[in-house]
Amino acid sequence: MFDPTIFDNLKVLLEGAVYDLDLNGDLVVQERKDLVNLADMSRQYRIKFSGNKGKSEQAVEFELSMANEAMQKEWNGLAVHTGCRIFLLFTYQEALSEEGMPEEQRIREIWGDEVSISHQISIEKTPAGKIQKSHLIKLDFGRLINEDNAEDLEKMVRFALVTLEK
């Protein structure tokens, strides 16, 4: 019989929280990936959505991952301090200022000062010669999460939606 890991349980909870809001018309799911890295047997789940307020050029992607070492500890009953990492990646199709302001200030108002924020600005030229700018803002909470944080996942999805719509 299959014994779900912390990763499996959190993935189901995250997916459920996102799809519940999608069914209500509060957001639009754009992409979903459930990946196994066969080289190191780690797991990763990514789900990307945009708000339903007409800002389709803005999206957020949740990235939930669990390293092989953590899974091995859990399977062997050694899972005292193990869990998953979670990152949020906000994408804006038009690049913001280099400093990311006021986006970073707004994100800190919603997510707090403990979260680590990094920025990546990209400029690409399409085959048609059009210039596309994008700005990726990555939130790293710097800790592992497990089933004890299950209620936080639904709140995180709602906070992500608020972040997109402000």
> Each residue of 139-158: pLDDT tens digit?
999 999 999 998 999 999 99
pTM of the predicted model as reported, rounded to 2 decimal places:
0.88
pLDDT at residue 95 in the model: 60
Asked whether residue 160 is domain-assigned, the answer is yes
Q: Structurally, how many domains does the chain consist of? A: 1
Average pLDDT, the chain: 87
CA–CA distance, 32 with 46 (Å, rounded to integer): 6
Residue 96: inside a domain: yes
Residue 1 lies in a domain: no
With a cut of 70, say whether residue 102 has pLDDT above it: no
Domain range for residue 143?
6-165
- CB of 21 closer than 8 Å to CB of 27: yes
Q: How many C-beta atoms surround the C-beta of residue 70 within 10 A? A: 24
Backbone angles phi, psi at 43, to 5 degrees: -120, 150
Q: Is residue 70 part of a domain?
A: yes
Query: What's the rounded Cα separation, in Å, for the pair 14 and 11?
Result: 5
Q: What is the DSSP letter of 128?
A: T
Number of H helices, E strands in the chain: 4, 6
Tokens 């070492």 — which residue? 69
Segment 82-90 shows an average pLDDT of 93
